[in-house]
Amino acid sequence: MEKLTRQDLHSLEDYSAMRDEFRAQVIQHKKNRVLQVGPNVTMHFEDRLVMHYQIQEMLRAEKIFESDGIQEELDAYNPMIPDGSNWKVTFMIEFPDPEERAVRLKELLGIEDTTYVQVSGHEKVHPISDEDLPRETAVKTSSVHFMRFELTSEMVSALKAGAALSVGIDNSKYQYAIEALPDSMRDSLVADLD
């Protein structure tokens, strides 16, 4: 999947005129890319369209129109675009009550390492997490992690041939699995793979 360049972006003025339509397109697109795993974890499978929207929104919110500022946003968001053999995920642990959240983030230490995707007939794939910076301490995990799931060429071929895809978390304090993603979501994720 190609990374975004300055040529892909719209000027602030042009984006303002098309924002509602573009936002509606992205919301529809994300319906097949956001996965609830149990009651408190959401996995956002990122891609080029979603990152394009994020960059446009940042440029708009911060009123960035200078080359250096635009390049900073591209450099920040382009790493979340899949590379053709992987999925990149924003992993969010969500507990609305701050006191419960503080307790549970201590209990869920290492949750990012126990998360997996699995192509039917193949081994589980655990993510490479938080490559940009450490997001957990010795006593608690972060409520947000960035993950990269690397797939083998055999897994990619199996998915393209229609193999089922499951996702789960095997943490001792949080165990949930989705045995087979809906076809619409599976197909959207397979489209990320070269």
Helix (H, G, I), strand (E, B) or coil at 129: strand
Please choose, from the candidates 177, 46, 174, the residue with its C-alpha nearest in 3D space to the C-alpha of residue 124: 177
pLDDT score of 130 = 87
pLDDT score of 119 = 98
124, containing H or E segment: strand 124-125
Please choose, from the candidates 148, 107, 144, the residue with its C-alpha nearest in 3D space to the C-alpha of residue 126: 148
Contacts for 148 with CB less than 8 Å, ≥ 6 apart: 86, 87, 88, 89, 127, 128, 129, 131
Which tens digit of pLDDT belongs to each residue from 102-120?
A: 999 999 999 999 999 999 9
For strands 86-93 and 144-150, give the pairing: antiparallel
pLDDT score of 143 = 95
Contacts for 36 with CB less than 8 Å, ≥ 6 apart: 42
Which tens digit of pLDDT belongs to each residue from 20-58?
A: 999 999 999 999 999 999 999 999 999 999 999 999 999
Report whether pLDDT(71) > 90: yes
Q: What is the largest CA-CA distance in the chain?
A: 50
pLDDT score of 44 = 98
Q: Tokens standing for 112? A: 């990012």
Contacts for 105 with CB less than 8 Å, ≥ 6 apart: 93, 140, 141, 142, 143
Report whether pLDDT(121) > 80: yes
pLDDT score of 150 = 98
Which tens digit of pLDDT belongs to each residue from 3-17?
A: 999 999 999 999 999
Please choose, from the candidates 117, 106, 114, the residue with its C-alpha nearest in 3D space to the C-alpha of residue 82: 117
Which tens digit of pLDDT belongs to each residue from 138-191?
A: 889 999 999 999 999 999 999 999 999 999 999 999 999 999 999 999 999 999
pTM: 0.93
